[in-house]
Structure 1
Amino acid sequence: MKKFSKYILSSMIASALFLNGCSDALDLTPHNSLPEEDVVNETYARQLINGVYEQMQVVGYYGRDFQVVSEVTGDNVKITSANSNRFLNEFRYLWNPTLASQGTTWTALYKTIYGANVVINELPDTDDITPYKGEAYFLRALAHLDAARRFARPYTNVGANPSGANTGIPVVLETVKDPANFHPTRNTLAETYNAIIDDLKKAQDLAPDMSSGSAAVYRGSKDAATALLARVYLYMGRFDDCITEANKIISKYPLWTVGNIETAYSGNNTSEEIFSLKFKSTENRGADNFGQMYNDPDIGYGDIRPTDAFRSLLEDDDVRNGFIYAKDGAYFLNKFRGNTAEGADGLVDIKILRIAEIYLSRAEAYTELTSPNISSALADVNELRTNRGLDPIASMSLADLKEEIKTQRRLEFIGEGLRSTDIFRKNETRTIPDSDALPSADIAPDNFRVMFSIPIAEIDANPNMEPNPGYN
C-alpha cells in the first residue's frame, strides 16, 4: 500500500518511546533520527510492540472513530438535528470512497498490521521475544478482523460469498520492504478469516498469560486470543468451535455485579475485562475523547443518543438503566463519562473484549446447534441477567430465547461497537424510526452499503485494489 511510507516505522518507534516505564537511555537520540537497523532488534522489542498499541489508540481507530462508526451504523443509537456535524454521513449510510474518516481508519488499521508484522517477522525467535510475538499475532488478527468488519460483508451475511474473489480485505502477513511498489490484492473472505484464525491460534501458544483484574488486561494475552477466537467462530457460524473456545475462559473472569456495573466503565482493569486499551491523562485529546460523542452538551457533544427502541428494551429493575439519563428533554448515554482516575471528561479505557460477550456468544451458539441446547443457553443468559438486577427466566421457547439473547447483546454492548455487525450477520434490517433522528433509509442485509467503500486514496495508489460493488 503506497501510504506505507518508509517513515511509518520511525514514527511508531518515536511514539512508543514516550510511554511510561521506558528507560532514560532511550531518550538520548532524537526520536526521528533512529535508523531502522538500530531499533528493529531484541533490545527494542518492548518499544516496538508498544508502538503497535499506540497506533491502535489513534482517533481514527480505537481512540474514537472505529467504535463510534460501528455504533452509529447500528440501531441502538441515533443522531438528531442537534449535532456538531460529526458522523452524519455514516449514520445516514451516505458514505463514499472520499469520506475522510474512513480513509483515516483504513490507514490506522494497516499501520497496526504493519507494526505487528515488524515484531513477528523481523525479531529473532528467542525465549525473551516469544511473548511479544504472541501479542503481535493477536493484534494483527484483531486489526484484520476489524478491517473485515468495516470493508467486507459479515461472513454469514446473505450476500457474503466467502469463497468469491475480492470478498475479503488485503491480508498482509509480511513486512513491507518496498512500500512504493507494494500493491496487494484483496483476499477472499474465507482466506481473510482463516488468516485471522491462524494468528489467534499462534497467539494462544505464544502470548503471555493473564488473570482477571490484573494490568495484563492491557496486553494481548492467551485469553484475549481465545476470547477473540470465540467471536470469530460465532461470526462464521462455527458454533461448536465458539463453545469450545468460550469454555476455556468463561469461569476465569467474574461478571460485573449489580453493585459495581455503573462504575465499571470509569474503572481500570476490572473483573470482566479480557483485553482493553489503556488511555491515560497524558493521552487526553479533549473534545476528541471517545466518550465526548455521548456525553451531554454541557460536557461533550451529546451527538449520539439512545434510540427509543433501545430504551424500550430496558426492564425497570435493570441496573443498566443507570447508563441512560434525561436532560433538557433528551436522553443521553452515561456509560463513557470519563475515567475517574485520569480526571478527563470522555477519556476512558476502551474495553474491547469482556466476559459478558463470551457468555452471550456461547448462549447464542448453543441455540444454533443442530440439536439446540436450550438449558445451557438459558443458564448463560440468566447468569448475565442476575448480575444486571433482573430475575432469572425459568423456561423459554427456542425462538423466544434467541430474541432474549439478541436483546441482552443490545443492552449490554451499546456504545461498544458490536451492534451493526450483529444486525447484518443475522441478516436483519437496520432501521431508525425515531421522529427526531436524522432521516436515514432502511438498510437491508443485501444492501451494498453493508460494506463501506474502500478509500479512494487506496484505490488510486494501488492498481490491484478492487473497489466494493456499488461504489463508483
Structure 2
Amino acid sequence: MKKILFSIVALALLSSGLTSCSDDRLDATLEGARDIEAKPIETVTDLRATVSGAYYRMVEAAYYGRDIIIYSEVRGDNAYAAAGFSNRFQNVSSYNLTPTHAYPSDTWKKIYEVISSANLAIGATIKTGSEKDINQGKAEALAIRALAHFDLLRLYGQQYVGDSGLDGLGIPYIKQFGELDAKNYKRLSVREVRDNIYKDLDDALALVDKNATNKKRFTQQAIYGVKSRVALFFGAFQESDYAIALTSAQKAMELGGGIIQQSAYVASFSAEEPQSNSVFELAQDNVNNLGNNSLYNIYAYRGYGDVVGLEENLQDLFEDQTDIRSSVEMQGYNNLTQNDKGNYKKVGPNKFVKLTEKELDGTVVVDPAIRYSFEYYRNFGKYTKISSNIKVMRYEELAFNFIEAAVRSKTEEGAALNLLNKIAAERYDDKPVAKYDKLTLATVLTERRKELIFEGFRFEDQMRNKENLASTPQSKEGMLYGSPKLAFPIPRNEINASKIDQNESY
C-alpha cells in the first residue's frame, strides 16, 4: 500500500509528541518521545491527554488562535488587512493566494494535525478507566473531528464556486490515524463531507457525558451548538437543513446559559474565565498564549494592527449609539483628535466623512469644532489581551442560529421574535421590551452581524446569502459570488504528496 502523508508532519508530530494534561493548560506532549505502535493509547489518562493535544493544536495561530477567524473578517465587508503595518494577511484580503503561499498551507496542515490527534483518540482501545470517562473522551474527539473538517470545507471546498453547493468538490474526510491508502484519501463531494460531519456529531452526542460542564472542552451543549452552526451553513444549499439548525440550537439553549446582560457585555470579552454566555472556549493564560501571533496583536493599534474595519460600512452599521455594541469600548477610531488640519468631519455620533476639496482648501468653511484627523476604524472590545481564551461559541450565536433558521423555515417564528427582542433588550440603552414587532430576514442578519462582528463569521454569512463582496483597499473591484477565488487553493506540497485534485483556477 502506498502511504500518503496528509499534512506533511502531522503523523510525525503525533507519534513523537502528545503530552499529559492534568488540567486545562493543554500541554502538547504525552511523553518526550512515544512510539504509538509499541506503546499505544490504552488508559483513560492517555486518552484525555491525546484529546488535550487536539485542543492545544486548535488554539495555535494557523487555526483558531488567529488565522481562521481573521480569514473570515478580511474577506468579508467588515474589515481588510491594511498595508503599512506587518503586512500580514495582505494576500488573503486581496484574494491573491497561490498554492505555495503560507496561509493555505499552514492552516491545511494544522487542521489535519488536529484531525490526527482526534483520530488517534477515536481509534484507541482503552483498557483502564471508567466507561463514562472513556465515552466522554471519545465524544470530544468526534466533535473535534467534525468541527475541523467543517472548517476545512468552508475554506477549501468549492461549494461557493459557480454556486456548486452540495455537488461541489469538498475535502478529504480522514477517519483513521496512521497509514493511509490512496483510495481512501480523496476529495469527497460537499454533500458527502456534510453527511460525515453530521454522523460524527450524532455519534458524539450519543457518547457525551450529559453532566460535563467544562466549557474549555466539548460538552453536550457545545456539540449541539456546532451542529446548529453546521446545519445553518448547509441550509443555504439544502433548505431542509434549516430544521436541523433550529432544533439543534434549541436543544443547546435549553442546556443552560443565556444572553449576557448589557451591563456585563463589554467586560465579558476581557474576562479570563468563561462567562454565563460562554458555550465553548479554547484555553489560553498568561503563560500559554500566542504572544505576538495572537488575535489581540493583529487587531490592536499597539500590536501589529493589520486588520482594520471598513469604516464606511461600519459607521452605517453602528450609527445607533444607544447600542452597547456601538460604544467606544467596543469599536471605533483610534487616535481620534480634534485638529484644524484634519481630513474628516463629524456628521453624527459615530459617523465621519471625508472633507471635500472645497472644504480642504477653505473655499467652504468648516467649523473647527467638527474637524478631525484619525487613523483607522478598529475592534477595541474583542480579544483584548494576548492571554484571552478564544471564544469559539457564545450563547448569542445559538440564539441567532435559532432565529435565522426559524425565519428561513417559517417555523417557531413567534419564539424567534421573542428571542430577538430579548437580545435587543440587552443591547440597547432604552432596554425596549419589544424593539421589533415583526421578524424579517434583513433585521435578523443585521443584528447577527452586529453581535458577531470581528469573531470570524462574516465571510461565511455573506456566502450563505450568496452576496457579492465589497470593494476594499485590498480588493478594489470586490469579488463576485461564484468566483473560483472564493475557495482557498489546496497547498502545493499536499498536491505533490497525495495527488488529490486542485481547486479551479489554481
Paired residues of 2:10 and 2:112 also in contact (CA < 8 A): no
Q: 1:154, CA displacement in angstroms?
A: 4.6
Residue 412 (structure 1) shift? 1.2
Q: TM-score, normalised by structure 2?
A: 0.82
Q: Measured at CA, do residues 262 and 393 of structure 1 come closer, stay the same or move farther in structure 2, by a change above 3 Å?
A: same
> Counterpart of 1:466?
501
Equivalent residues in 2 for 1:71-470, closer than 5 Å: 71-124=73-126, 127=131, 128-154=133-159, 159-164=163-168, 167-177=169-179, 184-209=185-210, 216-237=214-235, 238-251=241-254, 252-267=256-271, 268-296=273-301, 299-308=302-311, 309-314=313-318, 315-321=320-326, 322-328=329-335, 329-330=374-375, 331-338=377-384, 345-369=385-409, 371=410, 374-389=413-428, 391=432, 392-396=434-438, 401-433=440-472, 437-463=473-499, 465-470=500-505
Q: Secondary structure at the match of 1:429?
A: coil
Quick one: percent identity of the two aligned structures? 26
| Cα distance change, pair 235–34 in 1 and its aligned pair in 2 (3 A) | same
User: Given residue 482 of structure 2, which amino acid in structure 1 is its aligned partner?
Assistant: D
Deviation at 1:274, TM superposition (A): 1.0
Contact in 2 for aligned 1:227/1:358 (Cα 8 Å): yes
Given the superposition, is the C-alpha separation of residues 61 and 182 from structure 1 closer, same or farther in structure 2, using an over 3 Å criterion?
A: farther
1:150 CA displacement: 0.6
CA contact (8 A) 1:233 1:242 kept: yes
Once the two structures are TM-superposed, the CA of residue 190 in structure 1 deviates from its matched residue by: 0.5
For residue 251 of structure 2, give the secondary structure of its aligned residue in structure 1.
helix
**Any unmatched runs of 5+ in structure 1?**
339-344
CA change 1:367–1:187 in 2 (3 A) is same
Indicate the RMSD between aligned Cα atoms, in angstroms: 2.6
Change (3 A) 1:5 1:83: closer
CA positional deviation for 1:290: 1.6
Deviations, residues 53-93 of structure 1 (Å, cap 9, x unaligned) = 11112211112111111221111112333321100000111
Q: Deviations over 1:284-328 (max 9, x none)?
A: 3321112111111xx211211122212321221111123113223
**In 1, Cα distance between equivalents of 2:234 and 2:289:** 37
Change (3 A) 1:131 1:311: same
8 A Cα contact 2:40 2:124, kept in partner = no
How far apart, in 2, do the equivalents of 1:448 and 1:288 lie? 29
Question: Does the 8 A contact of 1:293 with 1:301 survive in 2?
Answer: yes
Deviations 1:346-389 (A, max 9, x none): 332111111111111111111112x4654333222212111112
**Contact 1:294/1:336 (8 A) holds in 2:** no
Q: 1:21 to 1:313 in 2, by over 3 A?
A: closer
Contact 1:226 1:249 in 2 (8 A): yes
**Per-residue CA distance 1:96-125 (angstroms, 9 max, x = gap):** 111111101000111111111111112338
- Decide whether aligned partners of structure 1 residues 448 and 102 sit closer, same or farther in structure 2, where only a CA change above 3 A counts: same
Any conservation in 1 of the 2:11–2:113 contact (CA below 8 Å)? no
CA distance in 1, matches of 2:135, 2:234: 29
Displaced runs of 4 or more, over 6 A: none
Tell me, in whole angstroms, the C-alpha distance in 1 between the residues paired with 2:291 and 2:24. Answer: 24
Change (3 A) 1:423 1:11: farther
Residue 353 of structure 1: SS of its match in structure 2?
strand
Q: Which runs of 5+ in 2 are unaligned?
A: 236-240, 336-373
Deviation at 1:33, TM superposition (A): 5.0
Cα distance between partner residues in 2 of 1:239 and 1:6: 37
